[in-house]
Amino acid sequence: MERFVCEAQFTLGDNAGALSRMKERYTAMVNDPLTTLWEQWKKGDGTYNHGWSGGPLIVLSKYVAGITPTSPGFAAFDVAPHMASLKHVDAGLMTTRGAINVSFTRDDKKLTLKLATPSRSVAHVILPTGGAEVAAVLINGKGTSTTQTSTGDIDLHEPAGTWTIEVNFK
């Protein structure tokens, strides 16, 4: 059930709280040599390999990496990360069309997204600016004009392919 608590936090905009809760709850499991997720929070209070404990893996892909289908078979999908204080995120998932891979790196001056999308798909990319003023947006090294949302986030649509998108801040 932990998945639904974290999903609610992300849905309500409490990205930092959701990541903090996951870290608090799962650190012992991640650091344990068993390499599985336990049934209970305390080691030894249940089984050592429990599928219900894997809910945050869904939440990390859907909210932190922001990969969400918007049409059947991922023909169209969103990439809208909620990174909170994270500086780097890597995620990938296999779809019926092929692999989707995303990698985000962020610092005070730049946000970089590396995106690989499968054939016959379109990615709707929304990159968070955190309210920072955007100096330039480069796609595969070339400047481009972009649309910004009402909150100042960068809004792009990219067809199948491999993309490096850089948002430079003033």
- Contact call for residues 78 and 126 (beta carbons, < 8 A): yes
The token pair that represents 88 in the structure block: 């780097």
Q: Do 138 and 106 fall within a single domain?
A: yes
2 and 58 together in one domain: yes
pTM over 0.75: yes
For residue 77, give the amino acid letter.
F
Nearest Cα residue to 102 out of 142, 62, 44: 62
Pairing between β-strand 147-148 and β-strand 154-169 as defined by DSSP bridges = antiparallel
CATH code for the domain of 163: 2.60.420.10
| φ, ψ of residue 7 in degrees (nearest 5) | -60, -40
Q: For residue 127, what are the β-bridge partners? A: 154
Element (H, E) at 57: helix 55-59
Residue finishing a domain among 64, 97, 119: 64
pLDDT at position 1 is 81
Q: 85 phi and psi, to 5 degrees?
A: -90, 0
Mean pLDDT of 24-31: 91
- Indicate the pLDDT class of residue 148, thresholds 50, 70 and 90: confident
Same domain, 119 and 149: yes
Tell me which of 40, 64, 88 is where a domain ends.
64
Give per-residue pLDDT as tens, 30-86: 999 988 888 888 888 888 888 778 888 899 999 999 999 999 999 999 999 998 889
- Number of domains within the chain: 2
Q: Are residues 72 and 49 in the same domain?
A: no
Report d(CA 35, CA 60) in Å as an integer: 18
Distance (Å, whole) CA 84 – CA 64: 8
Asked if residue 168 has pLDDT above 90, the reply is yes
Residues 71 and 144 in one domain: yes
Judgement on whether residues 87 and 157 belong to the same structural domain of the protein: yes
25 vs 145: which has the higher pLDDT: 25
Give the pLDDT confidence score for residue 41 in this predicted structure. 82
pLDDT digits (tens, 9 = 90+) for 104-133: 999 989 999 999 999 999 999 999 888 889
Beta bridge partners of 116: 101, 162
Do residue 1 and residue 55 come from a single domain? yes
Q: 133: helix, coil or strand?
A: coil
For residue 93, what pLDDT is reported? 93
Q: Is 148 found in the same domain as 109?
A: yes
Question: How would residue 2 be classed by pLDDT, with cut points 50, 70 and 90?
Answer: confident
Query: 167 and 87 in one domain?
Result: yes
In whole angstroms, what is the distance from residue 70 CA to residue 86 CA? Answer: 25
Q: Are residues 60 and 114 in the same domain?
A: no
Q: What is the mean pLDDT of residues 124-143?
A: 92
Name the residue range of residue 105's domain: 65-170
Query: 80 and 49: one domain?
Result: no
